[in-house]
Amino acid sequence: MNETFETYRSYLFAIAYRMLGSTMDAEDMVQETYLRYQATPGTILSLKAYLTTIISRLCVDQLQLARRTREQYLGPWLPEPIVTTDAPELVGVEKRVDEYESISLAFLVILEQLQPLERAVFLLREVFEYDYAEIAAILDKSEAACRQSLSRAKKHLVDHRPRFSASPELQRQLLTSFLQAIDAGEMNALIDLLALDVTFWSDSGGKVKGSPTRPVLGSQAVASLFIRKTSTFRGTLPEGARVDLAEANGQPALIIRAGSDAFAVLTIEVVAGRIQTIRIVANPEKLTHV
């Protein structure tokens, strides 16, 4: 097989997107990896291992910078959504039952709480299936340190992962009912879809009028916010805006569009048949690829 950088471009993007939760940053890391590859003198024994090493280290460095930036972000910071029907390479690396979990917004939010090294080790081991010796070489750490990082990451994930995962069919059904209740202004119907302790997260980066800068808790408060005509979901969109049921990050999602422009992406987590968490990404800088 005649390998080139292009052979692994989509693979490198799949690593970088999971590491960074940002399409723009992932593309930048892939490009920087290419530039470093081009400047490499001598023979490369394994091109895949070499490129994986470059991009993994770049992403760890970028994560350390991003953590400081995100601490000053106005309101909740959520990962940048991606329409996975347009990016099949993102879900091509796994063939297991949890094929889509590692790119779901819910899972990326949990990964965001890990230290950069923990996140890198977890993804390389659990998603991309490298062994400890390979991970140690990629990240320039000892095998013992990598094992400790994976152990800490797994403990965090066990503590924070949703206990029940809903089928895509149920998610689509609830999203459809959710939208119908909002369109009809039916407060009680909307409340019936929500868990009592539902949480709503909105990431607008301070760029969308009416978008809450703190999480909204409880079914009554969340339903009121969505029914209200001045809410982000209803009141700040141009004439002719539509809501499409699509797939973002491997899961059903509502995408609000006007023409070809996306204004928001809404996803949900479902527990025991009700909507437990609602996330909206409305920061226009995060929607350029949607």
pLDDT in tens, 269-284: 999 999 999 999 999 9
Q: Name which of 21-25, 57-61, 84-88, 256-260 the model is least confident about.
A: 84-88
| Same-domain check for residues 129 and 215 | no
Beta bridge mates, 90: none
Q: Is 195 helix (H, G, I), strand (E, B) or coil?
A: strand
pLDDT in tens, 144-173: 999 999 999 999 988 887 665 788 899 999
pTM: 0.90
Looking at residues 228-234, what average pLDDT do you find?
Answer: 61
- At which of 107, 140, 160 does a domain end? 160
Tell which residue, 118, 129, 125, 126, has the closest CA to residue 101. 126
Encoded tokens for 271: 């527990």
| Same-domain check for residues 68 and 189 | no
Distance (Å) of CA 200 to CA 211, 212, 288:
11, 9, 23
Alpha carbons 79 and 219: distance in angstroms, whole number? 24
Res 237: pLDDT: 64
pLDDT in tens, 78-121: 999 999 876 666 665 544 445 467 888 989 999 999 999 999 99
| Same-domain check for residues 221 and 118 | no
| Same-domain check for residues 141 and 274 | no
Alpha carbons 117 and 146: distance in angstroms, whole number? 8
Res 230: pLDDT: 52
Q: Which domain holds residue 132?
A: 5-160
Alpha carbons 176 and 188: distance in angstroms, whole number? 16
